[in-house]
Amino acid sequence: MANQYHARIYVTLRPSVLDPAGTAVASGLKQLGYQGVEDVRIGKYIELNLTATDEAQAKVQLDQMCDRLLANPVIENYRFELTQLATV
């Protein structure tokens, strides 16, 4: 028996890593008149469904997926949220 899970994964640049895209967006927002905007950081937001025997196995799989493909552990952090969808 397996369970289906929905995962929301947030990949962000480590705080020590410069974010040129974020700086560009901050300057764009200021040019549009939003003077109070600061510290813009741009990351990735990934949603996926996965099948696993239980929540612990789903978390192990997601950690591996993030380390191997979804994030670059040298410059990025990640975190995820898991919700169970159905038992199949």
Q: Which residues bind a second copy (CB under 8 A)?
A: 2, 10-12, 22, 25-26, 28-29, 32, 34, 36-52, 61, 64-65, 68-70
* Smallest separation (angstroms) from a second copy to the CB of 70: 7
- Burial code of 46-62, b = ≥16 C-beta within 10 A, e = fewer? beeebebeeeeebeeeb
* Smallest separation (angstroms) from a second copy to the CB of 64: 8
Which one, 3 or 74, has the nearer CB to a second copy?
3
* Smallest separation (angstroms) from a second copy to the CB of 1: 13
Where residue 39 falls (left for φ over 0; alpha for ψ -120 to 50; beta otherwise) is left
> What six digits make up the tokens of 50?
């996965």
